[in-house]
Amino acid sequence: NAGVTQTPKFQVLKTGQSMTLQCAQDMNHNSMYWYRQDPGMGLRLIYYSASEGTTDKGEVPNGYNVSRLNKREFSLRLESAAPSQTSVYFCASSRLAGLEGETQYFGPGTRLLVL
Amino acid sequence: RKEVEQDPGPFNVPEGATVAFNCTYSNSASQSFFWYRQDCRKEPKLLMSVYSSGNEDGRFTAQLNRASQYISLLIRDSKLSDSATYLCVVNPFSGSARQLTFGSGTQLTVLP
């Protein structure tokens, strides 16, 4: 099992450009998440999908959109990138959000630089 | 006040030392607690869950104090491979889907 995979690993964008970050999991998990990690800030939830067909905003959704393409895949789109979106983006999945003691499994991350 | 607060460190300890990290959380209704480990430029990985009665996994011991709203992680006989950032993670109930809240991490370097 590959677990959670993310593409691309690195990306450099110019302000105003758009891009989509891809995430896939092969653990048959129902719930998927997108986080960003900035120095000294911890991981912050951008969007999550509790189950296929549903998406909800997290703590910092502005400037992002998501698509839960199917049970395996959850993409994150930046429509018009801004320097403030320079960060490391992690995708995660779990069996089912809401379960007591639920554990999340993370992908390797995408490092994004917006100039 | 941050929902989950950790001392950022860095903690620099010699091999074989015992080191302890604390973490405080603000939501008294929080239900689940974890320690994750994150190596430099890697993804976070679950180290251990934290149970009310305290739990141990080899050299690692986790404790929860609900009255004072803090969680601790004790590492005994530190190894070079323990060098990483340790994230305190809390699962407060939030609407219909629970979400994890991450501390910003405590950096540990074990020195030879």
B45 close to A (CB below 8 A): yes
Lowest mean pLDDT among A2-6, A48-52, A101-105, B46-50: A101-105
The dihedral region occupied by A63, where left means phi > 0, alpha psi between -120 and 50, and beta the remainder, is: left
What pairs with residue A47 in β-bridges? A34, A57
Instruction: List, for residues B68-78, the tens digit of each pLDDT value.
Output: 999 999 999 99
| Residue entry with tokens 């800030």 | A41
Alpha-carbon gap, residue A39 to B107, rounded angstroms: 12
* Residue B94 banded pLDDT, cuts 50, 70, 90: low
**B3-52 per-position pLDDT tens digit:** 899 988 899 999 999 999 999 999 888 878 999 999 998 999 999 989 88
- With 50 as the cut, is the pLDDT of residue B90 above it? yes
Rounded-to-integer distance, Cα B2 and Cα B104, Å = 10
C-alpha A87: how far from its chain's center?
12
In Å, how far from its chain's centre is CA A24?
10
Distance of CA A59 to the CA centre of its chain: 13
CB atoms within 10 A of CB A86: 16
Residues of B14-46 as b/e, b for ≥16 C-beta within 10 angstroms?
Answer: eeeeebebbbbbeeeebebbbbbbbeeeebbee
CB neighbours of residue A36 within 10 Å? 23
CB of A3 within 8 Å of a chain B CB? The answer is no
Query: Nearest CA to CA, how far is B15 from chain A (Å)?
Result: 26
* Pairing label, strands A10-13, A110-114: parallel
A16 touches B at CB < 8 Å = no
Please give the interface size between A and B, counted as residue pairs whose CB atoms are below 8 Å apart.
54
β partners of residue B25:
B4
Q: Does A56 touch chain B (CB under 8 A)?
A: yes
The answer to whether B31 contacts chain A (CB < 8 Å) is: yes
- In this structure, the number of other CB atoms found within 10 A of the CB of residue B56 comes to 12
> At CA A113, angle to CA B39 and CA A14, rounded to 5?
170
Name the residue facing A104 among B97, B100, B104 (closest C-beta): B100
| Pairing mode of beta strands A31-38, B55-57 | unpaired
* Of the partner residues B45, B98, B103, the one whose CB lies closest to the CB of residue A98: B98
d(CA A108, CA A102): 20
Of A40, A106, A107, the CB nearest to B104: A40
The answer, yes or no, to whether residue B92 has pLDDT greater than 80, is no
